[in-house]
Amino acid sequence: MTVEGKAILEDGSPATILPATATLEPWADAAAATPFTDDRTAQLWLNQYALRPEPQHLAALLRKSAAWAAHPYIRAGFPAYALAAAPAAAPTFAAGLRDADEPTRAMGVVALRWAGLDARALAATLGPEWTTRAEALSIRPDPLALEATAARLDETTARMDLAWAWFMATGRPEPIRAIVDLLRYRDDYSALRTAQATPGRKEAADPLARGVLYATAGWSLASFYATHVLAEDYVRLWREDGSVPAPIREELRTLLSNEAFRPPKQG
């Protein structure tokens, strides 16, 4: 199909719409042609999803993510936010999971529920154990509620992952801004470094947790800044935005050079 034409701009001047060609294909055919074949192509697909959403492939992604050992907030979170933005894709999503393994079907149930969509048909395929596990995640956590305390550290870092899933599915600024705001804890990073350098030394737990969140926020932001065009745009905007606190703007300017923001060592 070719589209072309003429238009009148707001100021009254004429404009020509140059010919553009688009190919239309049935939804079922598009869903069957999975665009990723390995982890690298899947990551590229994820990185462009907010700009070029393809919800017909969400079931295929959930299947693939079974091998990633990812937190349930990530596995269910991305398709949940994507489906909330494109609820018409829910039947295709559920159908694409009918013959998946039970843990993957359970994550599909969680994603549908978090999106506010009907999950009953897919939930009916689960046995007692995975029904219970899915029900334990029936309420989606708030990814903007990032508590900086030692008691909630594990939950907060998991919610940061959920925030990134929201951002990748929709491109919305709210989740990435919540992570940017954790850079306000830069003064607590020294307590973390001291504790790491002197094993056995007693440090207050909450400052250590804030130091961990500062470093985690920084390295994840640096990673997305280098690989995701929307994350780069937001960081460039906020580091020059006078409404953003000056210490946070300074942190954003040194994302790629700050030693505190190096990825955590594996193993």
**34 vs 85: CA distance, rounded Å:** 20
pLDDT score for 190: 85
218 Cβ contact partners less than 8 Å away, ≥ 6 residues apart? 183, 251, 255, 258, 260, 261
pLDDT score for 202: 62
Q: How far is CA 260 from CA 50, 144, 180, 188, 255, in A?
A: 29, 23, 15, 12, 9
pLDDT score for 203: 61
Report whether 78 contacts 46 (CB < 8 A). yes
pLDDT tens digits in sequence order for the chain, 267 residues long: 787 888 888 788 888 888 888 776 676 666 677 888 888 999 999 999 999 999 999 999 999 988 887 889 999 999 999 999 999 999 999 999 999 999 999 999 999 999 999 999 999 999 999 999 999 999 999 999 999 999 999 999 999 999 999 999 999 999 999 999 999 999 999 888 887 777 766 666 899 999 999 999 999 999 999 999 999 999 999 999 999 999 999 999 999 999 999 876 654
For the record, the structure tokens of 86 come out as: 């494109």
178 Cβ contact partners less than 8 Å away, ≥ 6 residues apart? 143, 144, 146, 163
pLDDT score for 147: 95
pTM: 0.86
**168 vs 263: CA distance, rounded Å:** 20
Burial of residue 6 (CB within 10 Å: 0-12, 13-18, 19+) is exposed
Angle between helices 189-197 and 205-227 in degrees, nearest 10: 110
For the record, the structure tokens of 137 come out as: 């995640």
* Phi-psi group of 199: left, alpha or beta (phi > 0 → left; psi -120 to 50 → alpha; rest → beta): beta
pLDDT score for 8: 85
Q: Where are the domains of the chain?
A: 39-136, 150-261
pLDDT score for 33: 78
pLDDT in tens, 33-81: 788 888 899 999 999 999 999 999 999 999 998 888 788 999 999 999 9
